[in-house]
Structure 1
Amino acid sequence: MADAERMAAVLTALPEEYEAVRSHLVRPETRAHRLGTLVEVGELPGCPWPVAIAECGEGGRTAAALTERIASWLEPEALFFVGIAGGLKDELALGDVVVAAKVHAYGGGKATSDGFLARPESMRPAHALEQAARSALRRGTSRWTDRVITGPPAPTAVPKVHFRPLASGDVLLNSAECALREQLHHTYNDAVAIEMESAGFAHAAHLADCPHLAIRGISDRADGTKYDTDRQGYQERAAAHAAAAVMAVITEFARHRPAATRSAPAAPASARTPSSDVRVADALEAFTGMAGLEFRRQVLAMVEDRLALEHPLGIPEQTVARDHLVLIARALRQSREPSSARRALYEVMADLRPNEQALVRLREVLGL
């Protein structure tokens, strides 16, 4: 895959949303976290980065938990939540796309004898991501709609893109007259759409110090007609529009993203140099049998055993040996005791391949 060290990650809640995103990826491969979370990582034509996708299910708490896990596991350059939403304003047509200029977490407040007193919490996306979205989805110059993979019902007009706030909370709104709708009207009047996951997602991404953006397609009007529009296929249509939009944004963002942008804790110069991982991977690749996934699994298991680790390192497997070896080298470098990890790696290879010349090179690059 292109640029194995850098990627974007897209989270969805529903199967329809996941499939809409997945349909844009080429040669997706499944990766498993040690706690069971599964993602698919595939190539996006025209984009220098691979894209990881995950389906987390409905609700803000689940979205927050999976966002934090994927941020710490895959360390993506940017996180996106993509899917459908209910429209709150008449100017939004079914199938239009909303790029969240803000995400309002509307559930916070205080219940008193005078009524419910809202305590608004709102989160904005990273400026660079919002700028990439404005560039990629700009009317008159963008061809992002060419990416839309057709499905029912046939669109009657080109979908519009709205850079407006979203309201997000763990309530499915499907009524034109209810207390929640009144609360949104009076306290979050700038919100043009409502959904359930982006508040948890945005909060977790912020804590992970990862650029994030929510993009939603309008599938209903949150006014009691949701099930009618769902039967007409507007969920699939809205999900297809949002998926096409996020792919255009990822491609635009990747083209302009500087090489070193994420902050990291201070570390020795040798540890901060990404080429050190590449040199270790080169040295490991020279050993007989390293091209086989089973052999790499054996090496990793023996290293973990020698380090007396209670839990696996959680390194995502790669069918391409070089990509896998780079991830192994990075995980050992970032472990609690890098010197012990380097020594363990060398000792394991010395046990498995004691007579190979590659041992000399490995010892050199590990600084032993």
Structure 2
Amino acid sequence: MHEEIAALRPCLEHARTERRAGRDFHIGRLDGHDVVLVRCGIGKVAAATTAAVLLDAFDARALLFTGVAGGLGDGVRVGDIVVATTLLQHDMNAEPLFPRWEVPLTGRARFDADPAWSARLAQASRTLAASNAHAEAATIHEGLVVSGDRFVATRAESDQLRALLPEALAVEMEGAAVAQVCHDFARPFGVVRTISDRADDAAHGDFQRFVRDVAAPYSRDIVRAALRLA
């Protein structure tokens, strides 16, 4: 989101910007690595377009995806951090031609994040929780994150997802699309999300302020710490 770009963009060294596919790609150095920083936009199509441009036009060797999500799993609270180990599109359903959630042509419904990058993101998240007074109450979770092209904002919807996918920790709108594109390109990726709500009737709260004051600084610090571990 814009707030995440605003938090990370000043950290880039030797920065320049290229515009492609309606997006500003900020190119530079960050903690010893050549990086491209970009806001993907909301939804699976926007995320897939951005990921494809990064992997093709910029030949990105790995993708790190940050943002916010709604908590689904027991004990996943607002302010917690979820590192995805696997991702699934909860609104993918090509039955009866394919099993529910399976992505045609891939033969799979679940896409695994890169173990090494997931481990770095988890370690970076633990470092944040140990060193940041605002994050000290955050619990770090690792597991399934599900994605779909709708903002889950009612208890009925979140209860339905929990019934269908009881191991899901969080729900958002982009991660599984990035995972599918990275699978197609055979490139590693990692996904980390700050929990902004419980995907229920209170999910509409002061979302923008949470992103600006909590999630964006978390994303900045976690990405930088993960890069230093690489």
TM-score normalised over the length of structure 2: 0.84
Check the 8 A contact 2:114/2:189 in 1, yes or no.
Answer: yes
What does residue 74 of structure 1 align with? 58
2-side partners of 1:144 and 1:199: how far apart?
A: 26
Q: What residue in structure 1 maps to residue 45 of structure 2?
A: 61
Tell me what 2:105 maps to: none
Which residue number corresponds to residue 210 of structure 2?
234
Aligned to 1:225: 202
Take 1:156 and 1:80, find their aligned partners in 2: how far apart are those partners?
21
Residue 127 (structure 1) aligned with residue 115 (structure 2): yes
Q: Which runs of 5+ in 1 are unaligned?
A: 1-13, 149-153, 254-368
Offset from partner CA, 1:285-339 (integer Å, 9 cap, x none): xxxxxxxxxxxxxxxxxxxxxxxxxxxxxxxxxxxxxxxxxxxxxxxxxxxxxxx
Query: Aligned residue for 2:167?
Result: 190
Distance in 1 of aligned mates of 2:219 and 2:39: 15
Is it true that 1:159 corresponds to 2:117 in the alignment?
A: no
Preserved CA contact (<8 Å) 1:43 1:51: yes
Cα shift at 1:192: 1.1
Which of the two has greater helix per residue?
1
Instruction: Tell me the equivalent position of 2:12.
Output: 25
Of residues 160, 164, 170 in structure 1, which corresponds to 2:149?
170
Q: Of the candidates 181, 184, 187, which is equivalent to residue 207 of structure 1?
A: 184
Q: Tell me the amino acid that sits aligned with residue 45 of structure 2.
A: R
User: Of Structure 1 and Structure 2, which has the larger fraction of its residues in strand?
Assistant: 2
Give 5+ residue unaligned stretches, structure 2. 103-108
Contact 1:145 1:245 in 2 (8 A): no
- What amino acid is the match of 1:239? A
CA distance in 1, matches of 2:227, 2:77: 24
CA positional deviation for 1:160: 2.5
Cross-structure match for 2:106: none
Q: TM-score, normalised by structure 1?
A: 0.55
3-state DSSP of counterpart to 2:205? helix
Q: Where do 1:1-368 residues align within 5 Å?
A: 14-33=1-20, 37-44=23-30, 47-110=31-94, 118-120=100-102, 121-137=109-125, 139=126, 142=127, 146=131, 155=134, 157-178=136-157, 181-230=158-207, 233-236=209-212, 237-253=214-230
Distance 2:223 2:182 in 1: 17
Whole-angstrom CA distance in 1 between matches of 2:91 and 2:181 = 16
Output the CA distance in 1 between the equivalents of 2:10 and 2:156: 37
**Deviation at residue 243 of structure 1 after TM alignment:** 2.8
* Pairwise CA distance, 1:221: 1.2
Tell me if the contact between 1:94 and 1:238 (Cα under 8 Å) persists in the aligned partners.
Answer: no
Aligned to 1:228, the other structure's residue is in SS state: coil
Percent of counterpart pairs with the same letter?
A: 27
CA–CA distance in structure 2, aligned partners of residues 126 and 204 of structure 1? 13
Which structure has the bigger radius of gyration?
A: 1
Structure 1 residues 182 and 110 mapped into 2: Cα distance closer, same or farther (>3 Å)? farther
**1:71 touches 1:208 (CA, 8 Å); kept in 2?**
yes
Question: How many residue pairs are counted as aligned between the two chains?
Answer: 221
Q: Deviations over 1:145-175 (max 9, x none)?
A: 65x6xxxxx8374422211211101010001
